[in-house]
Amino acid sequence: MIYGKKVTVVMPAYNAEKTLRQTYSEIDRSIIDEVILVDDFSRDRTKEIAHELGIRTIVHTKNLGYGGNQKTCYRAALDTGADIVIMLHPDYQYTPKLLPAMAHMIASDLNDCVLASRILGGTALKGGMPRYKYVANRLLTAFENICLGLKLSEYHTGYRAFSRKVLESLPLGECDDDFVFDNEMIGQIAMYDFSVGEVSCPTKYFPEASSINFRRSVKYGFGVLRVSFLGLFARLGIYSSPLFNKQGRKLKDMPSRSIPFPAAVG
């Protein structure tokens, strides 16, 4: 714990058998109280390896998508009493060594949400980020800052930490189950006036790291533009999307779509 607050790491996993052990080995368990992995109907041994490592493991009985996986992650963390929840991908694209810094920023009440930015350090391209993704990242981030009223260096990182209050307050049930979930969540955070901090994170692209292809990247980009416009319309009082309705579905209102492992086997 940090200052009496329980810190939980959640891992949204899909076909992560090659990198899970290395990722988990670098988690500082003197800071992290619990690790929860949600397997989104992987086709490899991800859930078996997680169980071997002693990780609390939950499995989806069908693939629900990246956003759907996160919903299960956050609900499970809240159900087990987490005060601070950090999402860490098990594909080793983001270093676990930043977990203590991110947790302390929230435990110290400096921020409600912390994002690990691959842009702040200025080494994204050297770390292997494809140039078209880097350019799109910078352009979309600039547009989102204008529309949502924030000043972030990156909206598209998958390494994030949240206070319990954030996860309980946001209508995450209104968010998509696909990759645009990440952006919708930041849009909601902006509408709720939660404070957002950033830390610099090294970029690592390699064959085993998960990455969406060009076609899905384009779909994601249009989704980001949609979220940005909806946020701008809400700020100007032109139109209030269900996405930003404070009475919308919270995590606690959503039915469970997962089962524990190994109870799911057989």
Domain of residue 79, CATH code: 3.90.550.10
Residue type, 212: I
Rounded to the nearest 10°, the torsion over CA 77, 40, 182, 169 is -30
pLDDT at 265 (0 to 100)? 45
In angstroms, the CA 6 to CA 11 distance is: 16
The angle subtended at Cα 86 by Cα 81 and Cα 89, nearest 5°, is 130
Q: What is the pLDDT of residues 153-188, one digit of tens each?
A: 999 999 999 999 999 999 999 999 999 999 999 999
Residue 170 lies in a domain: yes
Do 10 and 36 contact (CB within 8 A), yes or no? yes
Residue 199 lies in a domain: yes
pLDDT at 215 (0 to 100)? 87
Counting DSSP H helices and E strands in the chain, the numbers are: 8, 8
pLDDT at 266 (0 to 100)? 33
Q: What is the pLDDT of residues 105-135, one digit of tens each?
A: 999 999 999 999 999 988 888 888 889 999 9
Do 197 and 150 contact (CB within 8 A), yes or no? no
pLDDT at 213 (0 to 100)? 81
pLDDT at 121 (0 to 100)? 85
What tokens were used for 41?
């109907």
pLDDT at 263 (0 to 100)? 63
Residue 263 lies in a domain: no
Residue 193 lies in a domain: yes
In angstroms, the CA 71 to CA 155 distance is: 18
What tokens were used for 222?
């249009």
Specify the pTM. 0.94
- Structural domain containing residue 22: 7-256
pLDDT at 242 (0 to 100)? 94
Number of structural domains, the chain? 1
Residues of the chain with pLDDT under 50: 265-266
